[in-house]
Chains A and B, each alone.
Chain A
Amino acid sequence: MQIVSLTMLQPVVELNTQPQYADNTTLWHHITESLHQSLLNVLSLLLAILPGILALVVALAIFTAIGMAFSALLRRALAAVKFDERLARGRNSLDWAPSTSPTELTARISFWACVLLGLLIGVSAFDASYATATMQTGALLPYLTRIVGGVFLLIAGTLVARFLARSVLIGAVNAQLEYARFLSLGVKWLVLVLTAATVLDHLQIGGVVVELAFGILFGGIVLTLALAVGLGSRDLVSRSLESRSEHPAESSSIHHPTISEESIRHF
């Protein structure tokens, strides 16, 4: 009995020194098997989220159709009850363009509300199917929300940039500044750069690099504008200083060379 047990406890001296996958057939088999496994995983994932994608498309299509029908119905109903005229009685004026009448606005808002509702329902269905398939609950929906938020930021930033650029352009032209267009472009790009940095930051892309690049670009544009305005307004500033030194009691603000105020009365 002791002999048997000692024999069992002895280490195996003779080891198998041959490689486990010695031949090419075995290696290729494993590669193929791995690829098949990955393909199966991806296909199964796609099959799992396909209902979600279909649900998203169907929900969007259905609610868009509902929105169109509801919008048309609302437009007819409001036109029948003369909604615009009734609303105009309570307002100070008929301050509506034909394309932005209250009826038209209400119909459009209802249509886009339906589309948005369909989008939300579709995204929820898609996220549910994706989470079930990947077992990562709530991974996609927050990022989709960020993307939507980023798109809104981009649109708002572009609109603000255009508005500010036009405001600056018209104001500078009426102030008879020669560099009006340059000033307007500078303001426009300032807002656009700020918007782009905000969107990237919102999407969590780039990290510190975006902040650094934004700082450099923003500072560069401001410096350029300051130099341009400073150099361009050199004559204006010198004239203002001269007039102030000659008439110290008079106006403290910069007086633009206006048009023959002594003889012309516009109003």
Chain B
Amino acid sequence: MIWHIFKKDLELMWRPILAVASIQLAFVVIQLRLESVNDSAVLQQLSQVLLWLWLMASTILAITVVHQDAVPSTKQDWLTRPVRRIDLLVEKILFVFLMVQGPSIATDLVQGFANGFGTRQTIAATLARAIIVFLALTLPALALGSVTESVTEAVVLVLVAFFGVFSFTMIAIGVAGGYGHQFDPTDFTGEGWLTNALRFLLIFIGGVFALLFQYQARKTKHTRILLGSTLLVLLFSQFIPWKPVFAVQKAFSPAPALGNSVAITWQMQPDADRRTSYSQGRTENRLFIPLSVTGLPTDTLLKADKSEVSISDQHGVRLYIGTGEDVEIRNDAGKQSLSYKQTIQVPPHIFQTFEHQAVSANITYSMTLFKLQSSYALRATQDNQRMPGWGLCRSRINENETAIEVSCMQIGKGPTCASVFLEHIPSGDRNPENTACYPDYSPFEDRPIPDVMTRFRLVLPFRDISGLTKYPVDATRLAESKIIIRMYEPQDHFTRIVASPLWSMRDSASGN
């Protein structure tokens, strides 16, 4: 009877389905237009409006589909009909997946094929996005629809949930000691996909269980409590500590032994004592701790996903716990040892109180080692190329004729890390590299919007209007130059701990 109920819902809902599909279609048309007309602010804004409109309309449509046979009601005719409730539930899920998400799936497929991406790659990316959209949008909408009888009631529940989340966040901020505190340690790290995956799993378990329970038992109050509890667990999921998340990420390392040789040590200054340098700001003091990395294989890039810093006094009493700033070290030349300075921001009151005292620092690095996977060359001007693992790219000179713009798109998940530079082929001269490394170790694209394509743009300057900078590869040499893209892939995740001897935060006379 699933198909029979499906046909009834289609007869009732075809108009709103068509309306939502039209919004989706308009959005895709604008996306395609944006690919040919760069920097159109009007189109960009329209695309954003349509995207949000589609999200809202899809959610409301999914809820309305469930309301066609409302579950909490005691008046609906279907309740006293020989309709198997499991059939009805399956039909609702199927209907929403095909009719609400369907147009979006279709346009994803069309975009993939129209842009020349392979069948397998297109289907895999489309399916991955469909699952993410289902978990992030459709399933919660279905669950919400099952515990409400009208869209108004659903909106009220959403507002109540929003108020709950807002209150929770405010309380959390209050407890943590003010704004600016990052609750989720995986935010803005490549490991963020693991907590997202956990959240999707929670949504799946909570959503499916709530739907099964509500359709079988019709206990709306209990199901609402269940959904509220799921939301609460989701809120608490942002407090998952870093270490277990990174441990899971380590288990996914494609080449788990690649980083075994990597060591990080406190760099002894040959001239004097162990010395750091600092700079003083109004709200913080930045310490620059000299470190050296050895054993980094050739053509690799080392990135710290997190550097947890603790500073203690000479008796071991902890004075400060925080995180160090971003670390990114590349070894293209196969050097044995590479030096760098770890930047740490210390609150002024800590610095002023302990600046002359002997302290020790302990840095725990959670690191990822990237290896050069492939290199691609693209003509500097007016070139189009498809690069496996990187996507479809087009190069052109920008309107001011100061830089080459490389616009790329990839179906599904885009590249994670690359260095890009302009090279004059005959002479081998290169312009400064542009490293674009935004780690995301997810095996799939976990960002469901705006569509299945990942679009990114690189800018490679070759002329400075002010004349202050001279580029080895300038406008006159562009015709004989190529854009070199070196793509790095994460291979190993590991932890390194650096323990310093005693030093003074202000034992260097000169600030940086």
Interaction A to B = no
Chain A residues engaging chain B, CB cutoff 8 angstroms: none
B interface residue numbers (CB < 8 A to A): none
